[in-house]
Chain A
Amino acid sequence: MTKTGLAKTGMIDFRGVNKWFGTLNVLKDITLSVEPREVVVVCGPSGSGKSTLIRCVNGLEAIKDGDLVVDGQRLGDPATNMTQLRTEIGFVFQSFNLYPHKTALENVTLAPIHVRKIPRAEAEKAGRELLAKVGLADKVNAYPAQLSGGQQQRVAIARCLGMRPKIMLFDEPTSALDPEMISEVLDVMVAVAEEGMTMMVVTHEMGFARKVAQRVVFMDAGAIVESGTPEEFFSHPKTDRSRAFLSKILRH
């Protein structure tokens, strides 16, 4: 994999990225390239910087130094239109963040209509199809408060897909869910991955990682400590820190 030069760039390219929150070095010299259609799972202990890492990709957090190139555009470059770039990047939050004053369908069509300028009728047709795809055809007119956590997260995924993004980022999408709802969300994510979406997924769901991820990246204290195929990482972790981490998540 090329680390320098612009000849070959990934869909998401971190090169020597550093970020601080005050004096805390949350991201330490991160170099990571995610290829088109690749699924990368990010795991690591709480506070290791996983959320910050993926939030940098769509500019929810700004980086201090190093380069971050997403879909060929360098973040922080005056020539990069961040608002435009964000339309190509879906972000799924741990806490769903659906719009409570909008129905499921309105949640899905809001940005396509107002940001992508797709005609309402067309956006609604696509929205209904997407909600059907995530198994919520009968919840089109429900408000978020009337949906279970798993249903809300599926609407949130449909909301991202409505923008026809090139990249999807997931920040612990199943951590806030009751155990019986986790698989319904993971199933949708697997389907999205199998359609060839470029994905960065912060999760500790090993089953998901083994099924669709090409790579698992392990973070600790702001640095990428280890990276490998799911098989390598889960079966033969190379560092003490990753072994300690795995023994903790496996106990559950």
Chain B
Amino acid sequence: MLENFSFRTIVEYLPLFGQGLITTVWLSALSFVGALIVGIVLCAMNLQRGWLFRVPAKAYIDAVRATPLLAQLYFLYFGLPRLGFVLPELVVGILALSLNSGAYIAEIIRAGILSIPRGQVEASVASGMTYVQRMRLVVLPQAFKVTIPPLLGQGIVLVKDSALLSLISVSELTRAGQLLASDRFMPAEGFLTIAAFYLLLYYGLKGLAGVSSRWLGTAGART
């Protein structure tokens, strides 16, 4: 098999892979920011005592977690135009990734907040802080530290999920592999190359997680 493996074609297609890689990186980054916003809003809704915000947030999170991302992507891709929103594929893709990852991130943040001991909340309540003050000054700074490693984990998942956008013809990394596979009938070359690039991205993010957890371990001791 290896004797048939055409490194030459890979090199020839390298600019295409490079473009795809860059697209994957920035669309993942944008989607991650979007997912953070969606996640924070959902989590805030989910932590309310009244059902008015909590129930829709929970229903949304469950719906997203229970259905395949591909179904959600197609739902937006084919559904939005019917509702009169005709958006570029790239925008639909980023929207889908943000809305999907946001549901998971909401749960990550919620777990972080709930991991803060009750005594922390009681101490801040007893000192006369309002809800917003104790969230801002006491709970969130502590929850933030607990949340960073799983958030980066979700970031890794998001990068891999972004491969699905190739199915709505966004020219990201996987799409580049597909082109090589279909244009030259070289699926092995195409998909092994993109796999290598994903692995690269994975190690990049993992390195970031390592750096951040070492930084968190030293900055501000925890009991």
Contacts and interface: CB of A to CB of B under 8 A. Distances in A.
Interface string B114-135: 0001011011111111100100
Given A93-B119, A95-B119, A114-B133, A100 B222 contact: yes
Given A110-B137, A144-B223, A146-B221, A97 B122 contact: yes
Nearest to B118: A97
Given A93-B119, A145-B221, A146-B221, A115 B125 contact: no
A112 B29 CA distance: 40
A100 B126 contact: no
Interface in A131-172: 143-146, 159-160, 163
Interface in B182-223: 220-223
Contact of B222 (A83, A89, A93, A145): A145
A18 interface: no
Interface string A90-104: 110101011111000
Interface string A58-99: 101000000000000000000000011011011101010111
A225 interface: no
The main secondary structure of chain B at its interface with chain A is helix
A86 B123 CA distance: 11
A115 B126 CA distance: 11
Contacts of B125: 60, 86
A111 interface: yes
Nearest to B144: A101
A89, A100, A144, A163: residue with the most chain B Cβ atoms closer than 10 Å: A100
A199 to B, nearest CB: 15
8 contacts: A60-B126, A101-B145, A111-B127, A115-B129, A144-B221, A145-B223, A146-B221, A163-B128
